[in-house]
Structure 1
Amino acid sequence: MQGDPLAELRGIHLPDPISWWPLAPGWWVLIIIFIACVSWALWQLLKSYNNNLYRRQAMAQLLQIKHDLNLTSTQRLVMILETLKQAVNSAYPDQHFSSRDLAAFLNFLQASCKDTVFQNLPIDLNALLYGRPDDRQEHNELTESIINSSEIWIKQHYAQDKLKEISTC
C-alpha cells in the first residue's frame, strides 16, 4: 500500500537573501559622482572663504577703529580710508583704484556697491582730513556715517568680474 504522497514532500527551499556586497556597478558610479559633487562643493566653499579673507580683516579693523576711544574723529576718518584703500587693493588687484584722489576714490566706492553708500559727505573732506590741527573739530556724526557706509561697502561691493561688466556698460 502506498502511503500518503504528501508526506514525502520536503519543505519550501528559499534562496539565499540578496547580499549588499559586492555592489552593482551602477552603485559604484553613483558613489563616485556623489564624492565628486561633495568634493567640488567643499572646494568652492574653501575658495570662497579664502577669497573673502580681506573682507573679514577689514571688518575687524573697522571694528577696532570704531571702539578705540583714544582716537580723534579725524584720526578715525584717516584710518577708515586707509582700511578701505587696503580692501580695494585686495578686492581689485592691479586696478589701482586706491591711488585716485579722495573724491574719485569715493565715487568709485559708490559705483562699486549694490547699496547707496558715502552719501551727504562734506565737500571740504580733504581740508577736514588734512587741514591744520587747530582747524579740526570733532565730527562724530560724519565718522559714524562713514563707518556705517564702509561696513556696507565691505560686505556688499561687487566682485571683480561683476565690476568689469558694470564698467563696460
Structure 2
Amino acid sequence: MNGQDPLAQLRDIHLPETGGIWPPAPGWWLLAILCAVGLVVAVILWRRQHRNTAWRREARRLMADLEARASMTPGWFSELNALLKRVARRSHPGQNPQAMSGEQWVAFLLATAPDERIASRPVVEAMVASTWQPRPTADPGQALNFAIRWLEAQL
C-alpha cells in the first residue's frame, strides 16, 4: 500500500456547526420592529390621554382645595362658580356656559345636574347669588355638596 492512502485522510461523519443566536432570523427582526412601533404608539396614546384628562384632575384638585377652605365669603363662592364654569366650558362647549350668569347659569346647572333638580334649586340659586352679595346667604356645605355631585357627573 501506498503511504499516502487517500482514505486514511478522511475524517468520520460530523454534524455542521450551529449558527448561534446572533444574528437573529428575519422574522425575529420583524417582530422586534413591530414591538418597538407598538410601544411607541402606546406611549404616544397614553401621553395624549393624560394631557386630555389633565383638566379633570385639576378640577378635582381645585374642588378639594375649595372644600378644605370653605367659608361664607363672596370670594369663596366666586371661586366655586368659576370652577364650575371652567368645567362646564370643557364638558358642554357648544352651550357657551362661560357667558352665562344669574338665572341662566342656575338653569344650566340644574339642567346638567345628575339628580334632585327641584330640591337643589334653592341651594343653586343661593350659591350663584352669594357671589355678588356682601353677606352670602348660601350655606357653604350645601353648595359644596351640590358642586361635588355636579362636578363628578360632568367628569
TM-score, scaled to structure 2:
0.70
Matching residue of 2:125: 126
Matching residue of 1:88: 88
Shift, 1:46, TM fit? 0.2
Moved more, 53-62 or 144-153: 144-153
| Distance in structure 2 (CA, Å) of the matches to 1:153 and 1:18 | 62
Matching residue of 1:28: 29
> Is 1:78 equivalent to 2:78 in the alignment?
yes
Contact 1:66 1:147 (8 Å CA) reproduced: no
Shift, 1:13, TM fit? 2.3
Matching residue of 1:62: 63
Q: Which amino acid in 1 is paired with 2:105?
A: L
What secondary structure does 1:82 align onto? Answer: helix
Once the two structures are superposed, what CA deviation does each residue of 1:99-119 show, in whole Å capped at 9, x if it has no partner? 232133214533xxxxx3574
Matching residue of 2:19: 18
Contact 2:89 2:98 (8 Å CA) reproduced: yes
Matching residue of 2:105: 102
Shift, 1:130, TM fit? 2.2
Q: Which amino acid in 1 is paired with 2:146?
A: I
| Distance in structure 2 (CA, Å) of the matches to 1:73 and 1:146 | 18
Identity %: 21
**Structure 1 pair 21–68 and aligned structure 2 pair: CA distance change class (3 A):** same
Matching residue of 2:40: 39
**Structure 1 pair 129–108 and aligned structure 2 pair: CA distance change class (3 A):** closer
| Distance in structure 2 (CA, Å) of the matches to 1:95 and 1:138 | 26
What secondary structure does 1:22 align onto? Answer: coil
TM-score, scaled to structure 1:
0.65
- Unaligned 5+ runs, structure 2: 1-7
Moved more, 85-94 or 48-57: 85-94
Once the two structures are superposed, what CA deviation does each residue of 1:90-139 show, in whole Å capped at 9, x if it has no partner? 455575233232133214533xxxxx3574313474355326445x4452
Larger radius of gyration: 2
User: RMSD between aligned alpha carbons?
Assistant: 3.1
| Distance in structure 2 (CA, Å) of the matches to 1:95 and 1:76 | 25
- Unaligned 5+ runs, structure 1: 1-7, 111-115, 157-169
